[in-house]
Chain A
Amino acid sequence: MNALPNDITVYLEHRERALAEVRKLLASIINFDGDPNDIDPDAGLFGTGLGLDSLDAVEVLIGLEIDLGIKLEGDDPMKLGLRSVNGVVDAVMRARGEL
């Protein structure tokens, strides 16, 4: 494969790192048996996809704070736009100034 242009390599590095952290967090919340790397980046969180429910939703926010040190204002993941794995990754990267 050809080498990627420089201006996106930093973004991709940050993205892959945040994605790995979010996968690990979600895997622990749902007692996921498999390899966290198998969690699709665009998989939905609630209902379809990972099938989290309202109880798990709060755990996502708590986990972001405890495990990743990222505090989001508000207590409703739906309102915060966290509807997919990538949605959570976006929130993490924004909090870190990487997006």
Chain B
Amino acid sequence: MSLASEVSAIRSSAGLSRSAHIVIVRVDGAGALDFLQTASTQSPYMREGRVRHTLLLKDDASLLADAFIVNIDDGFLVIAEGPSEAALVQWLEQLRDRAGAKNVTVRGTSEEWTTFGVDGPYAWEVAAAFMGPTTLGQPYLTLSRREDMMCLRAGKTGEYGYLLMVPRPNEKDAEAKLHEIGKPLDLVTVTREALDVCALENWHFSMRQLRKTDFVKTVLTPIELQLQWRVVYTREFAGVEALRARRAEGPKARVTCFTCSAPIAPGQRVRLAGMDGDIGEVLASCDSPTLGQTVGSVLLDIRVAHPHITFTAGEHEIRTCTASLVDNKSLRIQPHKHSYATRNEVVTA
């Protein structure tokens, strides 16, 4: 199936993906909460089943991982994108040893769990058929369980999104069941690339949008990346000192969203008419089938990091914009009221 068709499926029905790029690590033991407080930019929830969308930072305040942390069964799950499982476990163990949290155990779970992603305006219908009807009311950023399965409602495409975690021995049965459920719902198997396109065109951050750049001489922190909403500056966590220092200096650049009628390569420098020198650099870009143009993120001099400004990028022009441009079907669909079968009766305002 073409990338454009996969993206279209995610935007109109639902896409099923294998989430091998997502690592799940268990953190247990007395003091696990206190320890994770020092690892995460936001404090993990005390309340069971509530999921915190957070960041794990290196000591220089650059990003190690885009993570969810959830309290279950007297312990926590760290569900992360960015590092490999081994790298994440090692980082957590080092941090634990630094913090002297002797009774905390860190354990990768790739042997135990396999995860499936379901994303799309009717993803909830798939998830509810798989997990049970209480999934219909499951709030965003919560984890629910049924027997030995778990369902995390998160989503990074602007549509409903669920991570279904299944014990490894049940992998084949689960996959078969999902395909079965998905038949009347036009559930399509999609690749990670398709999910990344959906994320970028909807201005949803993903670790894979990061790249090395020398437009700024320093690392990119949550400040430049517009992820401060996941940071609480008054807390003490790995990387906070470097982050506070960056904040005190004042950042020199910020990423923002742009569109272009032609393809633009990441790394392309941009300029402003009437000014010498580069004023920014494209970090990530993709051809958006949904919007019919190129969409991406550009790192700009902080003074001009605002929407509705035109820049030249090589031979082309790019224009910054207010995200998100996508009119997500999910905004008009409510699990209790609608269904895929009657989707054409949905009135779009």
A residues contacting B by CB (< 8 A) are: 1-8, 11-12, 15, 33-35, 38-44, 47-50, 78-79, 83-84, 86-87, 90, 99
How many residue pairs link A and B with beta carbons under 8 A? The number is 79
CA distance A3 to B234 in the complex (A): 35
Task: Determine if B184 is an interface residue (Cβ-Cβ < 8 Å).
Answer: no
Write out, one digit per residue, whether chain B residues 245-266 have a CB within 8 A of any chain A CB (1) or not (0).
Answer: 0010000001011000000000
Q: Known contacts A40-B229, A43-B229: does B307 contact A86 (CB below 8 Å)?
A: yes
Q: Within 8 Å CB of A8, what residues of B?
A: 272, 304, 309
A-B contact pairs, 26 of them (CB 8 A): A2-B276, A3-B275, A4-B272, A5-B272, A5-B274, A11-B308, A34-B232, A34-B233, A35-B233, A38-B247, A40-B228, A40-B229, A41-B305, A41-B306, A42-B203, A42-B322, A42-B323, A43-B226, A44-B324, A47-B140, A48-B204, A83-B323, A84-B322, A84-B323, A86-B306, A99-B308
Interface residues of B in 47-92 (CB under 8 A from A): 53
Smallest Cβ-Cβ distance to B303: which chain A residue:
A4
Q: Quick check: B226 and A4 within 8 Å, CB to CB?
A: no
Known: A49-B229, A83-B324. 12 other contacts (CB 8 A): A1-B301, A3-B275, A4-B275, A38-B233, A39-B228, A41-B226, A42-B257, A44-B324, A47-B140, A79-B349, A86-B307, A90-B308
Closest Cβ of chain A to B259, distance in Å, is 14
Q: Quick check: B229 and A39 within 8 Å, CB to CB?
A: yes
Task: Determine if B341 is an interface residue (Cβ-Cβ < 8 Å).
Answer: no
Q: Quick check: B140 and A5 within 8 Å, CB to CB?
A: no
The secondary structure that dominates the A interface is loop
Closest Cβ of chain B to A29, distance in Å, is 14
Q: Within 8 Å CB of A12, what residues of B?
A: 303-304, 306
Task: Determine if B176 is an interface residue (Cβ-Cβ < 8 Å).
Answer: no
CA distance A57 to B10 in the complex (A): 27
Smallest Cβ-Cβ distance to A88: which chain B residue:
B322
Q: Quick check: A50 and B232 within 8 Å, CB to CB?
A: no
Task: Determine if B273 is an interface residue (Cβ-Cβ < 8 Å).
Answer: yes
CA distance A83 to B292 in the complex (A): 21
Q: Within 8 Å CB of A40, what residues of B?
A: 226-229
Task: Determine if B331 is an interface residue (Cβ-Cβ < 8 Å).
Answer: yes
CA distance A87 to B323 in the complex (A): 8
Q: Quick check: B257 and A5 within 8 Å, CB to CB?
A: no
Task: Determine if B277 is an interface residue (Cβ-Cβ < 8 Å).
Answer: yes
Smallest Cβ-Cβ distance to A4: which chain B residue:
B303
Q: Within 8 Å CB of B234, what residues of A?
A: 33-34
Best-surrounded residue of A3, A11, A47 (most CB of chain B within 10 A)? A47
Q: Quick check: B226 and A7 within 8 Å, CB to CB?
A: no
Q: Within 8 Å CB of A33, what residues of B?
A: 232, 234
Q: Within 8 Å CB of A2, what residues of B?
A: 275-277
Q: Within 8 Å CB of B272, what residues of A?
A: 4-5, 8
Q: Within 8 Å CB of A79, what residues of B?
A: 349
> 6 nearest interchain CB pairs?
A5-B274, A40-B226, A86-B322, A43-B229, A38-B228, A42-B226
CA distance A87 to B301 in the complex (A): 21
CA distance A29 to B233 in the complex (A): 20
Closest Cβ of chain B to A46, distance in Å, is 9
Q: Within 8 Å CB of B226, what residues of A?
A: 40-43
Q: Quick check: A5 and B256 within 8 Å, CB to CB?
A: no
Q: Within 8 Å CB of B256, what residues of A?
A: 41-42
Smallest Cβ-Cβ distance to A38: which chain B residue:
B228
CA distance A54 to B243 in the complex (A): 33
Q: Quick check: A5 and B275 within 8 Å, CB to CB?
A: yes
Closest Cβ of chain B to A85, distance in Å, is 9
Residue in contact with B274 in the complex, picked from A7, A11, A34, A38, CB distance below 8 Å = A7
Smallest Cβ-Cβ distance to B306: which chain A residue:
A15
Q: Within 8 Å CB of A43, what residues of B?
A: 226, 228-229
CA distance A1 to B305 in the complex (A): 14
Q: Within 8 Å CB of B307, what residues of A?
A: 86, 90
Smallest Cβ-Cβ distance to B324: which chain A residue:
A83
CA distance A8 to B308 in the complex (A): 10
Q: Within 8 Å CB of A44, what residues of B?
A: 324
